[in-house]
Chains A and B, each alone.
Chain A
Amino acid sequence: MREPVSRRGFLRLGAAAAVSAAGAAALSACGGGSAAPAAKAQGLAITLPAYTPLSGALKPDLPGNATGVPDGYFTYPKELFKAVAKPPMSGGTVSIAVQTFSPPPPGRAENPAWQEVEKRLGGTADMQPVTSDDWPTKFNTMVAGGTLPDLFTYVSTQGVNNLPAFVASQCTDLTALLGGDAVKEYPNLAAIPQVFWKQGIVGGKLYGIPVPRNMVGGLGFYRADMFARAGVTDLAQVTDLDRLFELLKEVTRPKDNQYGLVTHTGGVYGLSIFAQLFGAPNLWRLDNGKLVHQIETEEYRAAVEYVRKLREAGVIYPGSEGFDGLKRKNEFNAGRAALVYDGLPAYLGPTGYLQTSRKIDQKADPRPMIPIGPAAKAHLNNIVVSITMMKKSDEARAKELLRVADFFASPFGSEEYTLFNYGVEGADHTRDDKGNPVLTEQGGRDTTVPWKMVAAPTQPLFDSSSAEAVKIMHEAIGKMIAVGVEDPTVGSYSPANENSYESLYTMRNDRVTSIVAGRAPVSDLDRLIKDWRAKGGDKARAEFEEALKQAPKAG
């Protein structure tokens, strides 16, 4: 119901304020990202797993780069390679509970893909998928009942307070097992860049295995066909935000039921798009050791005023502040709005914006919005989908479970990746004339087992149905990451932030929504800032600043 991309990111994770001076030295040492030896002493010094790309990897059609731009592929690799030489387990069972976005899968007995996974795993996989909306509830009962499985999802919204204490009492510290070169025992995990691993730090130690996503959440999507009808055939023609305003006004034709922007409940009128276009910080901005919060900046205020003016100009689809996410998507797909805020992952795939809108209108041309104007930034707020934690286990078991995670992190183009995503060839998928796997009906069901939520490689861009779409996405992500801004507090831990994050987030959304809706004047932003500071904002700031002073930036 709220934003599809958790803009909270993984702020709650992160190094504790108490990283020692000795630890700080090691942190800066790993800045180079390579040969820092795993710190064994005290476990306070965090050395991220050394990034070691797989040798002999595939040649992508569109190469990615070290900043997080993913590889792009137009076709699926014909020759699959084996990513894991021998089964990670020798008998026994691994219990897994992860959040899923799919309907429940058929059980092991009727699921050849599941059987094949276990064969290659060398053991039994007791997989308990829980729908993402229900995950916090289920997770908390597992914790309270003492029934945490071996490997489980952690997302920031699941209501654990004092995460450092939680992981210390329940989870396996992975710092020594994966830090530095230790990760090389698990080549697929080692191929995950450090920017992702940073998301797995809790209280100065590594507790999470990242499940990577696309780095940026994006700036929503626009209808190139609708812009073209207003004379803009290329976004490059829109040189500044005033021009964008005019453009959105031009495409607004209430008589034809067409509007510039559609929003939904909790969407704050697509403010996220404009906050990024105006260059507002990704939650916090670090300025000479001082933190400034997004809402305290001129850029943010300008974005709020801009959106308010959009609404006053009738550009925003009336009543869409009451739409649910699906309705918003439908209206955009139906060509009744030219701009929508939604996360980048919603673009490709059979139910993504591209294919769905084309089903309604062949000429529909939705594209990811890209940064416009000199000030625009893109927030790096979609780095991982979740992290996976490990129940407290002895070292031998922990290593076995890491081999399991390594197995599930097998890269694109491997036999294993193909198995997790497309099942068994024959029963679950066939290859089309270009060699792309096509799921059979059974495959569609069998592959709903959320193996890819246990661990995953970095996500390549691949859509066999449209090379054009892959190119568009690749280019857009490239442009965004080029102006990408990190949240400087990632890697730091603030109890005040943890205790009041959601209530402050709600307060901010509510007040800003009221301002844009015209129920409150723009000057209400000052009251918001005042209340925000009093209700925990200032405290979080002080704690973060302290933590940042003690622990120079990692990574």
Chain B
Amino acid sequence: MTATLDAPPTEAASERRRTPPKLSLWRRLRRDRVMLLLALPGLLYFLVFHYGPLFGYVVAFKDYQPYIGFVDSPWVGLQNFVSVFADPGVWNALGNTLKITLTQLVLFFPAPIALALLLNSVLSDKVRRFVQSVVYLPHFIGWVIIVSVFQQILGGAGALPNFLESVGLPRYDMMTDPDVFPLLVTLQVIWKDAGWATIIFLAALLSIDQGLYEAAAMDGAGRWRRLWHVTLPGITPIIILLLILNLGSILSVGFEQILLQRDNVGPDAGEVLDTFVYFNGVKDGQWGAAAAVGLVKTIVGTALVLGANKVAHLFGHEGVYRGADK
């Protein structure tokens, strides 16, 4: 079982030993030709369909109008950034966004892992399969319906306030309470996507070498110790991977979900970055404002992902992508 724990460093070390130091580029390409050929279609795809449209970012520095075009729209320097970030509303929106994404990171992120572990520990195949095939369903329900279900249960004339009143407590409408908005939004996300997100962790759990459990059992490890020393290390790489990728989208929260509910609590609590740009740029035909915020989000996301990746390496994990590995 220590093999799993120490796997990445050992692997890296052995690899360094294995790779001969001075092979000419041509020889190396020849050696890797099959691998590179296999990767080629994907690479071409990314270059064409993702790097091809990057010229779109010039909009952030232009007064872009579709009828004038990318080339001929006048340059405005940093005007778009200034006009967005000079508005105090954007900082409020940024704060709300972070509140919500951090709440989600703390409460939502572990939920599918816990559920996956729970499901994995169910011995009955039938029960496990049944639960599995039910919990992923809400992923396919649109936000409009989900919000209206929550409305019906928690909303002003809904089941919960009615119940509270019937037992003599004051009515409480969670949907319109600005203080708990991040929590509410996170609850909805958990309900919608926790089941769906378990799928990937289940796959990770399934690819743990069963021999490791037997070995641990033979060493006299109990259920919890096996969980701690075999199961968790087995899925740690994927957990770290997803955590890092999640950091990349820390400035984005579900646009539609928020848009449907921001009026319940008002913009002071309910405005997020994407809705702010929508109301204060997109709707007025200010393409540049949206592009400016988009560029900032890309830069922040990239920095966070690469940074977190570095941190993961410091702790001896693979992370998403192994950089300077000399």
Is there contact, CB below 8 Å, between B66 and A144?
A: yes
Determine if A170 is an interface residue (Cβ-Cβ < 8 Å). Answer: yes
Chain A residues lying within 8 Å of B67, measured Cβ to Cβ, are 143-144, 160, 165-166, 169-170
A143 to B259: give the CA distance in the assembly, Å. Answer: 27
Instruction: Judge whether B260 and A324 touch: CB under 8 Å.
Output: yes
User: Among A141, A317, A499, which residue has its beta carbon within 8 angstroms of that of B286?
Assistant: A499
Q: Which residue of A lies closest to B173 (CB)?
A: A319
Interface string of A53-94 (1 = CB under 8 A from B): 000000000000000000000000000000000000000000
Asked if B133 is at the interface of the complex by the 8 Å CB criterion, the answer is no
Q: Choose the segment among A43-51, A355-363, A506-514 that binds chain B (4+ C-beta atoms closer than 8 Å).
A: A506-514
Question: Which residues from chain A contact B148 at a C-beta distance below 8 Å?
Answer: 323-324, 327
Indicate if the CB atoms of A159 and B283 lie closer than 8 Å.
yes
Q: When chains A and B are docked, how far (Å) is the Cα of A1 from the Cα of B259?
A: 9
Q: Using a CB-CB cutoff of 8 Å, which residues 496-533 of chain A contact chain B?
A: 498-503, 506, 509-510, 513-514, 517, 519
Q: Is A173 an interface residue (CB 8 A)?
A: no
CB within 8 Å for A162 and B176 given contacts A265-B264, A324-B144, A324-B148: no
The yes or no answer to B103 lying at the interface (CB within 8 A) is no
Mark B241-271 against chain A: 1 for CB-CB distance below 8 A, else 0: 0000000000000000001110110111000
A317 and B156 contact, CB distance less than 8 A: yes
Q: How many residues on A have C-beta within 8 angstroms of the other chain's C-beta atoms? A: 39
Would you give the shortest CB distance from A419 to chain B, in whole angstroms? 35
Interface presence of A321 (CB below 8 A): yes
Residues of B within 8 A of A509 (CB): 263
Question: Of A1, A320, A499, which one neighbours B260 at CB under 8 angstroms?
Answer: A1
Q: B280 at interface (Cβ–Cβ under 8 A)?
A: yes
| A498→B260 contact, CB < 8 A | no
Q: For A322, give its contact among B161, B176, B259, B267 (CB under 8 Å).
A: B176
Chain A hits for B261, CB < 8 A = 265, 322
A contact patch SS: helix
Distance of A157 Cα from B278 Cα, bound (Å): 12
Complex Cα–Cα for A161 and B59 (A): 14
How far, in whole Å, are A500 and B289 apart by their CA atoms in the complex? Answer: 12
Which residues of chain A are within 8 angstroms of B268 by Cβ–Cβ distance? Answer: 514, 519
Q: How far is the CB of A338 from chain B (nearest CB, A)?
A: 15
A327 in contact with B284 (CB, 8 Å): no
When the two chains form their complex, are residues B285 and A257 in contact, meaning their CB atoms are under 8 A apart?
Answer: no
In the complex, are the beta carbons of B151 and A161 less than 8 A apart? no
Pick the residue among A266, A320, A322 that contacts B147 (CB under 8 A).
A322
Contact A157 B260 (CB under 8 A): no
- Is there a chain A Cβ closer than 8 Å to B157's Cβ? yes
In contact, A503 and B175 (Cβ under 8 angstroms)? no
Structural contact, A517 and B266, CB atoms closer than 8 A:
yes
A169 to B, closest residue via Cβ: B67
Cβ-closest chain B residue relative to A336:
B157
Q: How far is the CB of A158 from chain B (nearest CB, A)?
A: 8
The answer to whether A140 has its CB under 8 Å from any CB of chain B is yes
With contacts A317-B156, A319-B155, A322-B155 taken as known, whether A513 is within 8 angstroms of B263 at the C-beta atoms is yes
A502 near B65: Cβ-Cβ < 8 Å = no
Q: A435 at the A/B interface (Cβ < 8 Å)?
A: no
Residues of A contacting B176 in the complex (Cβ-Cβ under 8 angstroms)? 319, 321-322, 517
Q: Do residues A161 and B65 form an inter-chain contact, with CB atoms below 8 A?
A: yes
Interface string of B151-166 (1 = CB under 8 A from A): 1000111100100000
Residues on A with beta carbons closer than 8 Å to the beta carbon of B279:
502-503, 506
In the complex the two chains form, what is the Cα distance from A321 to B156 in whole Å?
A: 9
Among B144, B151, B263, the residue within 8 A (CB) of A266 is: B263
> Do A140 and B266 touch (CB < 8 A)?
no
CA distance A327 to B286 in the complex (A): 32
Is A502 touching B266 in the complex (CB atoms < 8 A)?
A: no
Question: Does B20 sit within 8 A of A, measured CB to CB?
Answer: no
Nearest B residue (CB) for A497: B284
A500 touches B284 (CB 8 A): yes
- A318 to B266, Cβ gap below 8 A? no
Residue of B nearest to A170 (CB): B67
Say whether B69 contacts A503, CB under 8 Å. Answer: no
CB distance from B157 to the nearest CB of A (A): 5
Bound-state Cα–Cα, A323 to B281, Å: 26
Indicate whether B233 reaches chain A with its CB closer than 8 angstroms.
no
Q: Kindly report which residue of chain B lies nearest to residue A320, judged by CB atoms.
A: B156
B283 touches A510 (CB 8 A): no
CB proximity to A under 8 Å, residues B138-185: 144, 147-148, 151, 155-158, 161, 171, 173, 175-176, 178
Q: Is the CB of A502 within 8 A of B283?
A: yes
Chain B residue nearest in CB terms to A158: B285
Query: How far apart are B33's CB and chain A's nearest CB, in angstroms?
Result: 40
A157 and B283 contact, Cβ closer than 8 Å, known pairs A265-B263, A322-B147, A510-B267: yes
Q: Kindly list 14 other residue pairs between chains A and B, CB separation below 8 angstroms, not including A144-B69, A324-B260.
A: A157-B283, A160-B65, A319-B155, A319-B176, A320-B156, A321-B176, A321-B263, A321-B264, A498-B284, A499-B285, A503-B283, A503-B284, A510-B267, A513-B263
Mind listing 10 A-B residue pairs with CB under 8 Å?
A143-B66, A159-B282, A160-B66, A265-B263, A318-B156, A322-B176, A323-B148, A324-B147, A502-B280, A503-B283
User: Which A residues lie at the B interface, using CB under 8 A?
Assistant: 1, 140-141, 143-144, 157, 159-162, 165-166, 169-170, 257, 265-266, 317-324, 327, 498-503, 506, 509-510, 513-514, 517, 519
The 6 A-B residue pairs with the shortest CB-CB distance in the complex, in nearest-first order: A319-B156, A318-B156, A502-B283, A319-B155, A161-B285, A144-B66
